[in-house]
Amino acid sequence: MKIFYILLYFVAALLSFSIYGMLAMWVDRKVTARIHFRVGPPWYQNFVDFIKLTGKEVLIPEKANVLMFVSAPVLGVIAAAVAGTTILLVLQNNISFAADAILVIYLLTIPSLAVILGGSASGNVLASVGISREMKLLLGYELPFVCALIIAAVKSGSTTSLGEIIQFQQQNGKLIGSLSGVIGFGLGVLALQGKIGFVPFDLAEAEGELAGGSFIEYSGILLGLYKLTKAILLVVGPLFLISLYMGGINFSSVAGVIAGLLKYFVILVIFILIKNTNPRLRIDQALKLFWGWLTLFGIIGILLALAGW
């Protein structure tokens, strides 16, 4: 019976993340359209698009590894949803354990690996270029993302428990109020920009160059699952940053929920601003940014956190 309730909670979390993620993607599309002096889509457009994809035929390439090709997008959705569910359990029920923040880091890596596995299983040359870029991006942004976690862990008393990090902020103030916290938050935002695949880090898909990149052979519900994963990450990623640097979300009161929504909206606006004010980087430029300046700032942030700044 306990397993049944766990599965029910996971399904409810998956539905919630999917709905909120599609609404967040609508905000992104609407704001982007306004910047381009267009009207933009209605609020339900992403839901319609997903339903339309579920009704389309799924085409499997002749030379594809069928099992890997089909299971990769499913794996991405599950991993993103499990990461979000873990964060929700900490925020809502104070169910936390040692190193659960590291678990979330690992889970947020799996959607990128799913893109790599799915693209490599398709057997398409253009997809292979896309997955090559995705692999390099993954190796690039993971280092600053880990630095962002280390900064928060050090500032919170050398703990990797998400619950203890949130509790520390409730007692001592939000980490984003410190110099090292600002650095860590900035690193997390840019790393998540790469994980979600927003400009300037949309190299793996690069529709103008690679005709869809890693997703070129995907259609129907399988393509819809990749888009759904992106929508879920657009909720789970900011939620993780809110927990690390902005004191989490208090679901026990209306004021706490409203404050949490405002925190999320701030991060979403930052994503959209970065997306609409920067051109797509070349892969060598992206790697130099992640392994160069951002890693350097990450090291500086860790040293400042150790010094109490």
DSSP characters over 122-174: HT-HHHHHHHHHHHHHHHHHHHHHHHHHHHHHHHTTS---HHHHHHHHHHH--
Domain residues for 80? 2-306
Structure confidence at residue 208 (pLDDT): 61
Closest of 295, 308, 247, 309 to residue 140, by C-alpha:
295
**Which tokens go with 166?**
């949130």
Structure confidence at residue 212 (pLDDT): 66
Cα angle value 176/177/178 (rounded, 5°): 90
Asked if the model's pLDDT at residue 267 lies above 70, the reply is yes
How many helices (H) and strands (E) the chain has is answered by 12, 0
Structure confidence at residue 206 (pLDDT): 66
Question: Count of domains in the chain?
Answer: 1
Helix-strand-coil percent breakdown of the chain, rounded to 5?
75, 0, 25
Q: How confident is the model at residue 245 (pLDDT cuts 50, 70, 90)?
A: very high
Q: How confident is the model at residue 1 (pLDDT cuts 50, 70, 90)?
A: low
